A and B are shown apart, each in its own frame.
Chain A
Amino acid sequence: TQLLEQSPQFLSIQEGENLTVYCNSSSVFSSLQWYRQEPGEGPVLLVTVVTGGEVKKLKRLTFQFGDARKDSSLHITAAQPGDTGLYLCAGAVHNNDMRFGAGTRLTVKP
Chain B
Amino acid sequence: DAGITQSPRHKVTETGTPVTLRCHQTENHRYMYWYRQDPGHGLRLIHYSYGVKDTDKGEVSDGYSVSRSKTEDFLLTLESATSSQTSVYFCAISESTPGAGYNEQFFGPGTRLTVL
CA–CA, A100 and B99, complex, Å = 13
CB-nearest residue of chain A relative to B90? A42
Query: Is the beta-carbon distance between B99 and A31 smaller than 8 angstroms?
Result: yes
Query: Is the beta-carbon distance between B109 and A50 smaller than 8 angstroms?
Result: no
Known: A95-B99, A97-B59; 16 extra A-B contacts, CB below 8 A, are: A33-B98, A42-B108, A43-B43, A45-B106, A48-B104, A50-B101, A88-B42, A90-B43, A90-B98, A92-B98, A92-B99, A97-B98, A98-B45, A98-B105, A100-B35, A100-B44
Interface size on A, residues (CB 8 A): 28
Q: What are 27 contact pairs spanning A and B, CB under 8 A?
A: A2-B41, A4-B42, A6-B42, A30-B99, A30-B101, A31-B99, A41-B110, A42-B92, A42-B107, A42-B110, A43-B90, A43-B107, A44-B107, A45-B104, A45-B106, A48-B104, A90-B98, A93-B99, A95-B97, A96-B48, A96-B97, A97-B58, A97-B59, A98-B98, A99-B45, A100-B44, A103-B42
The number of residue pairs between A and B whose CB atoms lie closer than 8 Å in the complex comes to 77
Main secondary structure on chain B at its contact with chain A?
mixed
Q: Shortest beta-carbon distance, A41 to chain B, in Å?
A: 6
Q: Known contacts A30-B101, A31-B98, A31-B99: does B110 contact A2 (CB below 8 Å)?
A: no
CA–CA, A93 and B97, complex, Å = 11
